[in-house]
Structure 1
């Protein structure tokens, strides 16, 4: 009841937007002509849609995995009071207030063939194409750097109040460091880590600006493809853009449902 005033309008806007996009992608709300139920928009964009889906899933999976690994390691070091804890907390908190567009621009200045790293190495001529190259290295790096701070914040908040007492009890009972991590820390960290990773995956899958600024020109990720088709002067491309958006939303929903199903099977959730 306390969250209903914020939840109900949010769900209403989300459902209305998705329903409108689905209807227009199926030809039920055409900009010109008579309404007619058809999957032609999906068929027209299918060749680009398949490659864009593979690229977007690859970017989202790689970014989420790196963010989860770095975020988990950072959270464990902060919670357990490792050396340089204050400096580590400051470094991990820096990316949080930085907008994604600013972070992407900074990553481009760092990784481009004339960027900071290429100048430091002093071999700009043979520097690999990390920005707008055949592989979305800069896109993955930008998302992983930005979202690792979010993962660390979520995991550290979940562990800060519980892990110390449980680990002390396990140590008194004779558990070693690896046993404490396996039977105490890992079960406690799994739900928040999985939830934060799923949020990162879904956000990365649908985010536009970083992939547009740093990603390959062809093939295009799903958000970039949808934006290009939506802003095309050819109005007949509008249903194709919304078809791409509907596919992106369906993939995000599938990832969310899969994460919730997996979390319900964990001992900590039960």
Structure 2
């Protein structure tokens, strides 16, 4: 038996116009809020909107602290990439467990739901109390502070990665579970009836059909981890500083000249986030499900 491909229906011009009109208020509001904030930041970063004095166009704010800026970019990208990768693996695995309807699925779903509701600030404080050298975990294990790994404030940013991966894995599990529970369950059952094992169903059915959802969830998690301030400030090192921490420190400095430098750091963060979004859409266009 062969299955003929179903032609995708394209909407008429009237339907497209109606759809554009319906989303226009939301798009306009987003452009005003986001575009206005990013535009003002760009003007200040390039010296066109100074706090005091006359405008002095130039790129001096970007080159004033080149060492700190490049170090901040490296730290932010490293933490965001590692935390997002761990969150995708853990979240996707949790979603598969939730829809499998086993004994542990309800417990995993409950833990994921509770994790999503916890604010990042409280989660960061909890991870800090748990993983610090005098925290709860080394005391329970009977490990002295000198022998405990430097998770909080350490060179590998372990506590910050753990917190971001923990919180974002629950978010990814939530959206992937929604995809698995709506349209993919039928395909999975059909493949099981045809003799496909669990590994084959995951590789050839679940993973390709959930790829767009996973990619979108990974992009959202990456952008959040890239711009997260409170988590990296509480659990990270004092030097080198990640991009959001560096931007806030410069903005709160006593020198008004540092405001332009803070705007430059914020603008670099925005460019990196927009680049990640552009790569996400490019990756989505290559998936068969998106097409």
TM range (shorter): over 0.9
- Which residue number corresponds to residue 63 of structure 2? 43
Pairwise CA distance, 1:26: 0.6
Q: Work out whether residues 135 and 216 of structure 1, in 8 Å CA contact, stay in contact via their aligned partners in 2.
A: no
- Which residue number corresponds to residue 54 of structure 1? 74
CA deviation vs aligned residue, 1:94-116 (integer Å, no higher than 9, x gap): 11111110000000000001101
1:252 corresponds to 2:270: no
CA deviation vs aligned residue, 1:164-219 (integer Å, no higher than 9, x gap): 21122222333333222221111111110110010000011011011001111100
- Residue pairs, 1:185-204, within 5 angstroms: 185-204=206-225
The one of 211, 231, 245 aligned to 1:210: 231
Structure 1 gap segments, 5+ residues each: none
- Cα distance in 1 for partners of 2:255, 2:177 equals 49
- Which residue number corresponds to residue 236 of structure 1? 257
1:182 corresponds to 2:207: no
- Alignment partner of 2:178: what SS? helix
- Cα distance in 2 for partners of 1:266, 1:25 equals 38
- Cα distance in 1 for partners of 2:105, 2:33 equals 42
Structure 2 gap segments, 5+ residues each: 1-20
User: Normalization by structure 2: what TM-score?
Assistant: 0.90
- Alignment partner of 2:116: what SS? coil
- Residue pairs, 1:1-270, within 5 angstroms: 1-125=21-145, 126-270=147-291
The two structures, once aligned, show a CA RMSD in angstroms of 1.1
Pairwise CA distance, 1:41: 0.6
Pairwise CA distance, 1:156: 0.3
Q: Work out whether residues 168 and 221 of structure 2, in 8 Å CA contact, stay in contact via their aligned partners in 1.
A: yes
- Cα distance in 2 for partners of 1:121, 1:183 equals 42
Pairwise CA distance, 1:161: 1.6
Q: Work out whether residues 121 and 230 of structure 2, in 8 Å CA contact, stay in contact via their aligned partners in 1.
A: yes
Q: Tell me which moved more, 79-88 or 43-52.
A: 79-88
- Cα distance in 2 for partners of 1:167, 1:101 equals 39
Q: Work out whether residues 97 and 104 of structure 2, in 8 Å CA contact, stay in contact via their aligned partners in 1.
A: no
Q: Work out whether residues 111 and 118 of structure 1, in 8 Å CA contact, stay in contact via their aligned partners in 2.
A: yes
User: Normalization by structure 1: what TM-score?
Assistant: 0.97
- Cα distance in 2 for partners of 1:260, 1:221 equals 26
- Alignment partner of 1:170: what SS? helix
- Cα distance in 2 for partners of 1:37, 1:143 equals 38
